[in-house]
Amino acid sequence: MTPSQPHRPKYLQEDDISQKCRDLLPLLPREKGWITTSIYQYQGFWYSPQILSSVLACQDHFQAQDTDVLLITAPKSGTTWLKAILFCILNRAELSGSMQHHPLLTQSPHNLVPFLESQLYLEQEIPNLASFASPRLFATHLPYHLFPTSVKDSGCKLVYLCRNPKDTFVSFWHFANKMRSKGTGEMPLEECLDAFCRGTSPFGPYWDHVQGYYKASSEMPERVLFLRYEDLKEDPHVHVKRLADFLGCPLGKQELMDGTVDGILRMCSFDSLKALEVNKSGELSTGIETNWFFRKGEVGDWLNYISVEMGERIDRVMQEKMHGSGLKL
């Protein structure tokens, strides 16, 4: 880095990619990026160069274990919230009685439950995952059919969370602008909407992402749990119990009576997490500020940013692309 160049966060370092990715890029369809200059289409989905480089590394090197739990989302579908909830559910035995020293009070959900391609394999081509205790809990935005075979062949559990596409879009637009604030300036909303509806959003097309997991959960309900952000909002208690059952660690009679679920939901609520110093002023190793993950956390906020007509445009595309899937968002 020369003295005149400002520090560029990892996610904007477009030339920091593997040779394999460098060789692949000229062969791939290219579009204007939301955060980086360009995004590229690989096996049907769109990625920035750095993320594609780490997707390739993840495909080549990630070895799933039968006991692994993977949380999967399209970006801005409620990942941070469900990372926190899953961490609490899976670690509640060791952490019971130590709510004042709970790891979520001092660490970002994104450090406790790191993304495979957007953190671990972005930082190192072959990260050392040996320090993760079983059951290992990772997150990813990878589309279902891009998973390395070890994920599909193992008995690991997949939890997928989707969200109303209009709220997802608006949330992503805000997030992209935060990320661009360290680089290239705001991207016009109309331009982003156009790209979203053409499917050229990072990890898009959104409808293909969601449908891949919806189909997998219909075919393998014991391995893939399909959830919606709006349902989680409406009845979080039911979903915490459902998640614990699915993960093979159901809540015991005592836990159902002693307020365990309430404690988890309080700890993971938008207001509690947002108020913590680590989530107000922290920064992930990729350069992303932790406060960018906590904006409003509401259902239906899209109406404050896009017109009814713009919303109808998203609805029309979703209806057309998901026709016959049995899924309505």
The C-alpha atoms of residue 153 and residue 66 are separated, in whole angstroms, by 9
- Which phi and psi angles does 285 have, rounded to 5°? -65, -20
Active site residue ranges: 141
Query: Which one of residues 50, 54, 79, 108 is an interface residue with ligand PAP (CB under 6 A)?
Result: 79
SS3 sequence, 215-273?
Answer: HHHHHCCCCEEEEEHHHHHHCHHHHHHHHHHHCCCCCCHHHHHCCHHHHHHHHHCHHHH
**Cα 23 versus chain centre, distance:** 27
- Minimum CB separation of residue 244 from ligand PAP in Å reads 18
Q: Which is nearer to ligand PAP, 154 or 241 (CB)?
A: 241
Residues 36-75 that bind ligand PAP (CB under 6 A): 73, 75
Residue whose C-alpha is closest to residue 248's, from 73, 86, 79, 130: 86
User: Which of 36, 50, 80, 91: binder of ligand PAP (CB under 6 A)?
Assistant: 80
Minimum CB distance to ligand PAP, residue 170 (Å)? 7
Return d(Cα 287, Cα 12) in angstroms, integer. Answer: 9
Q: What are phi and psi of 5, to 5 degrees?
A: -85, 125
Q: Which span (3-11, 38-46, 121-129, 289-297) binds ligand PAP, by CB under 6 A?
A: 289-297
Q: How far is the CB of 300 from ligand PAP (least distance, A)?
A: 10
Among 37, 296, 307, 319, binds ligand PAP (CB under 6 A): 296
| Total number of residues that touch ligand PAP (CB under 6 A) | 21
Q: Is 316 in the site for ligand PAP (CB under 6 A)?
A: no
Q: How far apart are CA 159 and CA 113, in angstroms?
A: 13
Smallest distance from ligand PAP to CB 17, Å: 21
How far is the C-alpha of 111 from the C-alpha of 104, rounded, in Å? 10
Question: What residues from 152 to 211 belong to the interface with ligand PAP (CB under 6 A)?
Answer: 167, 171, 174
Assess 78 for contact with ligand PAP (CB under 6 A): yes
Q: What is the Cα–Cα distance from 262 to 249, expressed in whole angstroms?
A: 17
User: Of 79 and 260, which CB lies nearer to ligand PAP in the complex structure?
Assistant: 79
- CB 96 → ligand PAP: shortest distance, Å? 21
Strands 45-47 and 38-42: antiparallel
Instruction: Write out the residues near ligand PAP by the rule CB under 6 A.
Output: 73, 75-81, 167, 171, 174, 268-270, 273, 293-297, 301
